[in-house]
Chains A and B, each alone.
Chain A
Amino acid sequence: MSAKTKLPTGQEAIAVKGWIGAHKWLLLRRASQVFFLALFLLGPWFGIWWVSGTLAGSRTFGVLPLTDPLVMAQSLLAGHRPELTALTGAVIVLAVYALIGGRVYCSWVCPINPVTDAAHWLHDRLGLPKGWQPKRHTRLWVLGMVLLVSALTGVIAWEVVNPITMLHRGLVFGMGATWGLVAAIFLFDLLVARRGWCGHLCPVGAFYGLVGAKSLVRVSARQRSACDDCMDCFAVCPENHVISPALRGKQGDTPLILSPDCTNCGRCIDVCSVDVFTFTHRFDDRLSEPGDTATPNVADKAA
């Protein structure tokens, strides 16, 4: 803890890097979320059918099939043998997220993320208590439950309630009562459990976490020696238990955030005024020690 711990989250980063600099990854992430939604809306809104379908399954430029691998897994367990098109689509999606980080889906694509982020923002502003905080691995149990129910009922079970595909389908095809479901998630995160849905319960996040357990793209606390204990990264991180092992690692511990729970959202990079964090790959465990001018980052500042 330091005196800076008491400052409002991100204030110092804004002072040092400017508002844009301190929100770079957040802005990029919102742009990405809008981009992926817009791809699906181009057709129904403007008649430009580059992409048709929904996040559960889509077809791009008439040829590229993409399928949600968790939906596919449930379908297989429910006893259906899917056509090659859907299987191919699922394999492609699996391969991409296995490479770039499974939970990149959560923070860069999922349409529920802005909803729960908004709930968290308001939660922060209102200074509400944490509320119910189930264990992080609860979502793995939920994932297991969803797969089991699919196998037992012979229905793709999670799609009966999945707020992600329902919201996305709602925006692309027509909402119906889906707004109520989205509002329920918002209120749950706001009043019942801080970061409750994405951080603790959602089986889709749990699934993608497993998919990206060995993914290539990682955040590294390379300059952890420069950390001034302002705690801002812990305040903004949606899965803040992933930071400690990397940031507070002892001599010889890797600075890489290797937890599959990390969503690669990059907010820790944004909010750090001393640039501790950086995006890199999982084999780059370089560390900058105090007084080390070998890394370009520090060298730039010295210049």
Chain B
Amino acid sequence: MPAANPSTQADRRRFLVNAARMAGGCAVAGGLLSWLAHDARALPAQALRPPGALDEADFLAACIRCGLCVRDCPYDTLSLAELGADGPATGTPFFTARDVPCEMCDDIPCVAACPTGALDKGLTNIDDARMGTAVLVDQENCLNFLGLRCDVCYRVCPVIDEAITLELSHNDRSGHHAIFAPTVHADRCTGCGMCEKSCVLPEAAIKVLPVRLARGASAEHYRKGWEELEQNGAPLVDGIIDLPDRLPGPGTDNLATPGGFAPVFTLPESGQ
């Protein structure tokens, strides 16, 4: 059918051109959408996710932004991020500790309300929540660090004496007082934000930060010798060489020649 050929060819051509146009348009729009989706992960530091929230990357795959956690929060702690007004991905739940902290309900109603598991049902004890970690960010303004007895962050902490303790040290300024330094223990801090909310300063000296900002991480292969020693009754590695302690002053071994360290050998032409 030679007569049919031109129209078949034209059809094929039109089909290919149309498909290419659609694919091109979708590539542009898809690129833009990917960029927005990726951008959505940039959770601001002061925005905290509800208890049990998955890691931010997993959270954005799981949270359908229905707001049921917000509805079931008895203290109106949570709110949904509004487009352009709040930092987190639009429509996702968050709270700001300095405004309304998490009251750490025993029955964790926000987690119970979540239909998708974006708030992990595996969280059954609210003390295990890790919404963030409190950090005493400003020792220079903290009243306790100035030697006063404010203690408010310590007193309001729902995990008092575990998540925040007061560590005593000598007050060098007055010479005869103690400093009661509020000290956060990250392994017990839930990130509820009570301390930040209650800090009496105009700008809180203790703040709840996302764990990724608040904490470092120890390398996996690091071992603390003193812990290992206590556990095993002996060093993990046999035949450890006991190197001399180096102190300023002459000598190579502090035990042999108390008072310090001097080079074992002199460098040639060093004039020593």
**CA–CA, A206 to B113, complex, Å?**
30
> A residues touching B (Cβ–Cβ < 8 Å)?
43, 49, 52-54, 56-59, 65, 67-68, 71-72, 75, 78-83, 85-86, 89, 135, 137-138, 141-142, 144-146, 148-150, 152-161, 165-166, 169-170, 172-178, 180-181
Tell me how far the C-beta of B72 lies from the nearest C-beta in chain A, rounded to whole angstroms: 8
Known A75-B116, A135-B18, A178-B82; judge A68-B64 contact (CB<8 A).
yes
Given B22, B61, B71, B79, which contacts A52 in the complex, CB threshold below 8 Å?
B71
B44 within 8 A of A: no
By size class, the interface of chain B is: 35 or more
**CA–CA, A145 to B72, complex, Å?**
35
Known A53-B66, A154-B61, A177-B82; judge A83-B114 contact (CB<8 A).
yes
Chain B 74-119 interface residues, beta-carbon cutoff 8 Å to A: 79-86, 89-91, 113-118
Instruction: Please give, as numbers and ranges, the residues of chain B lying within 8 Å of A80 by CB-CB distance.
Output: 58, 61-62, 116-118
> B residues touching A (Cβ–Cβ < 8 Å)?
18, 22-23, 25-26, 29-30, 33-34, 36-38, 40-41, 57-58, 60-68, 70-72, 79-86, 89-91, 113-118, 121
The 9 closest A-B pairs by CB, nearest first: A176-B82, A177-B84, A57-B66, A78-B61, A155-B37, A85-B115, A80-B62, A176-B85, A86-B115
Tell me how far the C-beta of B84 lies from the nearest C-beta in chain A, rounded to whole angstroms: 3
Instruction: Please give, as numbers and ranges, the residues of chain A lying within 8 Å of B29 by CB-CB distance.
Output: 142, 145
Query: Is there an interface contact between B115 and A57, defined as CB atoms closer than 8 Å?
Result: yes
Known A75-B116, A141-B22, A159-B91; judge A148-B30 contact (CB<8 A).
yes
Known A53-B71, A57-B68, A80-B117; judge A166-B80 contact (CB<8 A).
no
Query: Is there an interface contact between B36 and A176, defined as CB atoms closer than 8 Å?
Result: no
CB nearest neighbor in A for B60: A155
Tell me how far the C-beta of B229 lies from the nearest C-beta in chain A, rounded to whole angstroms: 44
Query: Is there an interface contact between A153 and B64, defined as CB atoms closer than 8 Å?
Result: no
Q: Which of A141, A145, A154 has the most CB of B within 10 A?
A: A145
Tell me how far the C-beta of B204 lies from the nearest C-beta in chain A, rounded to whole angstroms: 25
Query: Is there an interface contact between A49 and B71, defined as CB atoms closer than 8 Å?
Result: yes
Query: Is there an interface contact between B68 and A53, defined as CB atoms closer than 8 Å?
Result: yes
